[in-house]
Amino acid sequence: MNRPVALVTGVGPGTGSAIVRRLSAGGYGIAMLARNRDRLAALETEIDNAKGYACDVTDETQLDTALAAARRDLGEPSVLIHNAVGGAWGSFQDIDPKVLNANFQVNTMALLHLARRPSFDSTASVPATAS
């Protein structure tokens, strides 16, 4: 466990997996968080030093479980990339407020919950993406 560790949320088939591939090429161990277990398992076989953890980032209990497993398996993450996003198309008049609230939970509150965990202190890098 001598390599730096990054934690990436929202590892889907596009931006998330591209981020993981780039981090792997740069020598990182990567904890991949996403809801889709099958995609994570496939990416584990394709990408060196990447380990998947099925997790809904809006659920703090699942976040804590995933972070504990990642620390155990890979070591303490020094980089967090919050790529999990929710979105909706339409005007504020048309979009159901429940959809906006769900998006806020993924886009904003999940990042807050992650960044407040002990791993991510003032020395950690914490970029967020919006794909």
The verdict on domain 5-93 having CATH code 3.20.20.70 is no
Q: What is the pLDDT of residues 39-53, one digit of tens each?
A: 999 999 999 999 999
Q: If DSSP codes are grouped into helix, strand and coil, which group holds residue 59?
A: coil
The more confident residue out of 100 and 129 is 100
Burial of 96 (0-12, 13-18, 19+ CB in 10 A): exposed
Band of residue 73 on the pLDDT scale cut at 50, 70, 90: very high
Residue 120 scores a pLDDT above 90: no
Q: What is the pTM of this model?
A: 0.88
| Domain assignments of the chain as residue spans, ordered by start | 5-93
Q: Are 131 and 14 in contact (CB under 8 A)?
A: yes
